[in-house]
Every structure is written in structure tokens, then in C-alpha cells.
Structure 1
Amino acid sequence: MGYDILIEETRAGLVENKHFGIICGINEMKKQIYQVGDSQQEVFFRSAAKPIQALPLFLTNIIEKYNITEEEAALFSASHRGESYHINALESLLNKLPVVEEDLFCPPSYPLNIEPREKMIGEGKTKRRLYHNCSGKHIGFVAVCRELGYPVANYWEQDHPLQQHIVQILSTLSEVPISEIKVGIDGCGVPVFAIPLHSMALTYLKFACPDLIDDSGLKDAVVKLTRTLNHQYNMIASEHFICSILLQDPNIVAKGGAQGVYGFGLKNERIGFALKVINGSEEVWPNIVASILEQIDYKNKETIHKLRLLKPSIVKNDSGIEVGTIKETFTL
């Protein structure tokens, strides 16, 4: 496996940790123009697939039919953190759509963010499927099944018509034949897909540049979906997370997944990027993405500045004393 060192963490001048990984950048000619490590490595999308998994819904008229707000629609692609505005919008979706919480296959849980989780536990509230970070995706799955006449039962199974629809969309966007897409089971129980990293970058290029999509219906759905992501950036994770910072830049379409996977596309530059931190760390995403944007001389310096604030290069201990550094070591 061809992995390079992306990040070195030091303490008192000694290297304390190294993060290995792979990066790929694809231009509008579908040529690989940036590479760190082996971009042919197959990588599971994890939650970076959520925009793809939401497309069957955006291909229908469900949003218009049920008067779904843009804020609510963003949750179909979200890894929400369980803040009050997430829960309120999820409750609203259940009130509007022909979906009940018991339909959802994602397991009951508490919110990912510490404050709402501790608040709920302190109030004696029990875990709910709605609090799971993938609940918006699952609500969308059930809504699509009911709209298209698919059985709701076993909608999470690989051979279910909804999951077959999703893998066909992925194949179209990534240009990887369905027979070559590896399928596993994600944390929430639905199929999760692995393709070469360069094909993942191509997928995010098409999110940023939907004019590259030949299918007009799919193109329109991508435009609608990505506009929603940019307008409702805090619904995708929450404040102070990399997805929210990148998506509030109208030039960027982005989504992260578990185990260190991240994908983003730049609209004006017409480049798609995908990366994988091999040890699964998500903490160094801001450093890696900031360095990528700096190395390509990205024009919106404010976006880079916000990423640097999210994960500073100076490491401080619990008392606020500087004790080390985080340094990017890769060159595109």
C-alpha cells in the first residue's frame, strides 16, 4: 500500500505521532493532477456517501409535495450532532412525511455533541433513533420507499431496490462499474461502498461541477442538493466542524465520513479532491484540507483562516501552555 506521511505531531521537538494517508485531486478533464500516495487504493465512503444516498429523494418531488424546508432537506445528507435545531427539524420531518420513528433502522442513541447528550442524560431522557447521527438519511430512505412504491421492510439490505438505485447513481457519478464497487455494512446498518480514491475525487468533482453529468435529471438533483448543503451548512454537522466551515464557502461542496475519509469539490477551480487518513483520524482534516487549499493558492483565504482556527498548528495543554506542533508534511 502506498501511503505517505500527511501530518507530524511533535512535543518538545520530538515526533510524537504521524498520520499517514492518501490524497487525490481530479480536474474537469477527469485527469489526476494531484496525488499523494496511491490513489488507486480502494476506500469506503462511509458518511461521505450521504449526498449520494440522498439523491434518490432529490430525484423525486417529495420536497415540494410535503412542503419540506431547505433546513429540513439538508438533514437527508447530514451527520447531525443532535443540537436542538437538528432535533426540531427532524421532528418536523416526521410530522410532514409518511414516516414514523419506528420505521428507521438506525439504532437508538444519544446525540454526538457532548452538551446535548449530557443534557438529555441529565433530564433522564432515553436514547432515540431520531438522535442517531444518520437519522435524517434514514428518514429520507423511508420517504423514498413510500413515494416510489418500494417496500419499507428491509430497505437497508443490499438487494433492496432503493439500495440498488443508490449504487447505480454512485456508478454513474464515479464511473466505476457496479461490478467493481465493493459493498460493506456501515455503522448505521445500510450498505457502504468502496471505490478507488481517484474515483471518489471524480464523484466530488461532479458535485461541484454538475455540468459534467450527462443525465439531465441527475444533474438537476445534484444542483438542488448541493445548493441546500451550502445554504444550510450547520445542519450537516454543527457549528465548529469542518463540513460547516467548508460548506459556508459557496464555492465548495464537501462531506466527511468515518475513519478519516473526506471529499470536497471546488466549483470555480473545477477540481475534486478526496483523502483518507489511514489511522482513521478526523481531527487532522482541517490541517490537511487547509494545506491543500494553500498549496493550490485557493483564493478565499477566509476559508483557510477558519480551518486554521479550527485546528491550530500550535498544540496547547489543558492549562493553555504551548507544548508542541502539528505540521503538514505532504506536497501535492
Structure 2
Amino acid sequence: MGFTALVEEYRGGVLENVHYGAICVVDEKGSAVHKAGNPEHITFLRSAAKPFQAIPAMKRRIPDVYGLTGQEAALFAASHRGEAFHIEALESMYRKIGISEDILRCGASYPLNEDARAERYRAHEPKRRIFHNCSGKHAGLIALSKHMGWDMRTYYEPDHPVHREILETVAYFAEVPKEKIPRGIDGCGLPIFALPLRKIALSYLKLACPDLIGDADTRDAAAAIAKLMNEYPDMIADTKFVCSALLRDANLVAKGGAKGVYAIGLRKERLGVALKVSDGAEHVWPCIIASILERLGYGNRETIERLYALAPNTIVNDAGTEVGMRRAVFEWQA
């Protein structure tokens, strides 16, 4: 797979864990200007695909069609973690679209945010589909299907018109023939796509720099969804998660996915970044991403410090006592 060591974790001075993976940084030509591990490693985008899955709805101006607020529309690209303000926005959006959560394909769950989950437990509330972190994305696809007169009840099927459009969108951004893109089923029950890291990085560069997109409608839709992500960062994840921390920086568009995949587009620098942690770990994302930004000479130190604040490189035990440390160890390859 071409993985290399990305992060080492020590306890009591003894190496305890090594997280392997690959990183690719591309320029406007789609060429890898920095890499650690194999830039052609193919991985499923998982939730990192959400901004592109929202493009067909943004092309049809679905937020305007249903009178959605910016916070509500941002949920099209979100992996929300079920805080109260997420659920309020989702319920409002569902009312405006005229659907109930029973139509959702995603399974019933509890919120990912620990505090929000605890609140639901204390209230003895059952699992709900709207609590699922992908319920905003599903709402966008259902709203588009309703507007276009497509069958809403089968919106999750791979051959449904909404997913044919999404596949074409992913292929267009990545510059890969759609017939060459492997597909699977994501955790929320919808089709998902696999791409080389270099192509994921290129796609996020275009999301950050839509002037690189030739088609005018796609360009406008990409700019619109990226703008929403930056304007409402806490809707994309929550108040204590890496996606929201990065999106507070207006120069970045960023989104992670399950099993360790993460992607970022840098506007001023006109670079795209994609990484994969081979063991699927997410807690090392801040360490890796902060190190990437530092090695790129990124000028906004506040963004880097936000990442380290989320997941300090100092490892503490359950009592808060310092017991170890982690560090990024990857090197750029020639």
C-alpha cells in the first residue's frame, strides 16, 4: 500500500504506537509537490465526499427552493455530531422540505458528541435517524429528488438519478473517468467512492479555488457550498472537532471521513492536501495536519494552535497526569 510512519506515540519514554499512512500535497496542475508514502494509494472518501455530494443540490439552488437558512444548508456537507443546535436546524429543515426522518436510509443512532449523547441518555430518549451524523446530507439528496420529481423513497439506490449525478461530479472534480472509480456502500447506506489520494487532494484544491473549475454551474455550486462550510463551521462537525476548527480559517476548506481519510484545500497557497491514516485513527489528525501546515510554512499560526489545543501532543491519563507524548515523524519524499 506504500504506507509510511506518520505519528509515533510514547508512554514513559517507550514507543507504544506507530500510526502509518500516506499524505499527498498537489499544485494547480494536480502534480504531487510533497508526498509521504504512496500518493496513488486508493481510499474511500467516506464523509470527505460530502461537499461533492452536495454539488447537484447546490446547482439546483435547493436552499433557495425550500427557503433554508445558511445553517440548515451547511448541513448538506456536514458530519454533524448531534448537538442541540444541529438537531434544531435539522428538524426545521425537514419541516421546510416537507419530509419526516422516517424516510432516511441511515440507521437510528445517538449523537457522536459525548455531551449531546449523554443528554439524550439522561432524557431516556431512543435512538433516532436524525441523530445520525449524515442526516443533513440525506436531507439534501431527498430535497433534490423531490424538486426534480425523482422517487424520494429510493434515493439511496446506486442507480438513482441523484447518485448518477454525484458520480459524474466526483469524476469531474478528480479528472478520473467515472467507469474507473470503485464504489461501495458507506456507513449511512449511501453509495461512496474511492480515489487515489492525489485525486482527492486535487478535488479539494478545486473546491477551495473554484476558478480552476471549467463548468460555470459547477464552479458556482462549489463556491456556494465551500462558503457555507466556512461561514457555519460548527454545523459541519461540532464545537470541539477538527473539521470545525479548520473551517474557522477562511483560507481553508476541509473535511474528514471515517477510517482516517482527510482532505484540505488552501486558497492563497493554491494547494490541495489529502491523507490517509492506515489504521483509521482520527485522534492523530490534529497532529498530522498541524505538522503539514507547519512544513508548508503556513502563515496562520492561530489555526495550527487550534489543532494542538484539540488534541495536544502531550498524552495524559484519566486523572490528567502527563504520561507520554506523540509526534509527527513523516518526511517528505523526493
Q: Where on the TM-score scale, by shorter chain, does this alignment land: which range? A: over 0.9
**Corresponding residue for 2:246?**
246
Contact 2:30 2:199 in 1 (8 A): no
Bigger Cα displacement from structure 2, 249-258 vs 156-165: 156-165
1:265-301 CA-to-partner distances (Å, cap 9, x unmatched) read: 0000000000000000000000000000000100001
**Corresponding residue for 2:320?**
320
**Corresponding residue for 1:172?**
172
Bigger Cα displacement from structure 2, 24-33 vs 44-53: 24-33
1:35-59 CA-to-partner distances (Å, cap 9, x unmatched) read: 1101111100000001111111101
RMSD of aligned residue pairs (Cα, Å): 0.9
**Corresponding residue for 1:288?**
288
Kindly provide the amino acid, as one letter, of the partner of residue 96 in structure 1.
K
**1:72 maps onto 2:72 in alignment:** yes
**Corresponding residue for 1:145?**
145
Q: In the TM superposition, what is the alpha-carbon distance from 1:65 to its structure 2 partner?
A: 2.2
Q: Is the partner of 1:16 in helix, strand or coil?
A: strand
1:68-95 CA-to-partner distances (Å, cap 9, x unmatched) read: 1101111111111110100000010011
**Corresponding residue for 2:31?**
31
Task: Give, in whole Å, the separation in 2 of the partners of 1:102 and 1:56.
Answer: 23
**Corresponding residue for 2:117?**
117
**Corresponding residue for 1:9?**
9
**Corresponding residue for 2:85?**
85
Contact 1:10 1:16 in 2 (8 A): yes
Kindly provide the amino acid, as one letter, of the partner of residue 30 in structure 1.
G
1:220-252 CA-to-partner distances (Å, cap 9, x unmatched) read: 001111000000000001011100110000000
1:15-45 CA-to-partner distances (Å, cap 9, x unmatched) read: 1000000000111122110111011111000
Contact 1:230 1:247 in 2 (8 A): yes
Kindly provide the amino acid, as one letter, of the partner of residue 215 in structure 1.
D
Task: Give, in whole Å, the separation in 1 of the partners of 2:169 and 2:330.
Answer: 33
**Corresponding residue for 1:307?**
307
TM-score (norm 2): 0.98
**Corresponding residue for 1:154?**
154
**Corresponding residue for 1:20?**
20
1:137-167 CA-to-partner distances (Å, cap 9, x unmatched) read: 1111110001111111221111111111000
Bigger Cα displacement from structure 2, 80-89 vs 92-101: 92-101
Kindly provide the amino acid, as one letter, of the partner of residue 132 in structure 1.
H
| Pairs within 5 Å for 1:80-229 | 80-229=80-229
Structure 1 runs (4+) greater than 2 angstroms displaced: none
Q: How many residues align?
A: 332
**Corresponding residue for 1:59?**
59
Runs of 5+ in structure 2 lacking a partner? none
Q: Is the partner of 2:21 in helix, strand or coil?
A: strand
Q: Is the partner of 1:20 in helix, strand or coil?
A: strand
Task: Give, in whole Å, the separation in 1 of the partners of 2:130 and 2:71.
Answer: 16
Task: Give, in whole Å, the separation in 2 of the partners of 1:61 and 1:191.
Answer: 23
Task: Give, in whole Å, the separation in 1 of the partners of 2:31 and 2:305.
Answer: 29
1:177-214 CA-to-partner distances (Å, cap 9, x unmatched) read: 11110000100000010011100010001011100100
Contact 2:32 2:39 in 1 (8 A): no
Kindly provide the amino acid, as one letter, of the partner of residue 80 in structure 1.
H
Task: Give, in whole Å, the separation in 1 of the partners of 2:331 and 2:271.
Answer: 17
Kindly provide the amino acid, as one letter, of the partner of residue 83 in structure 2.
E
Bigger Cα displacement from structure 2, 117-126 vs 85-94: 117-126
Task: Give, in whole Å, the separation in 2 of the partners of 1:169 and 1:108.
Answer: 29
Kindly provide the amino acid, as one letter, of the partner of residue 235 in structure 1.
M
Bigger Cα displacement from structure 2, 227-236 vs 141-150: 141-150
Kindly provide the amino acid, as one letter, of the partner of residue 311 in structure 1.
A
> Alignment identity in percent?
48
Q: In the TM superposition, what is the alpha-carbon distance from 1:98 to its structure 2 partner?
A: 2.7
Kindly provide the amino acid, as one letter, of the partner of residue 227 in structure 1.
K
Task: Give, in whole Å, the separation in 1 of the partners of 2:260 and 2:279.
Answer: 7
Q: In the TM superposition, what is the alpha-carbon distance from 1:319 to its structure 2 partner?
A: 2.1
Contact 1:98 1:146 in 2 (8 A): no
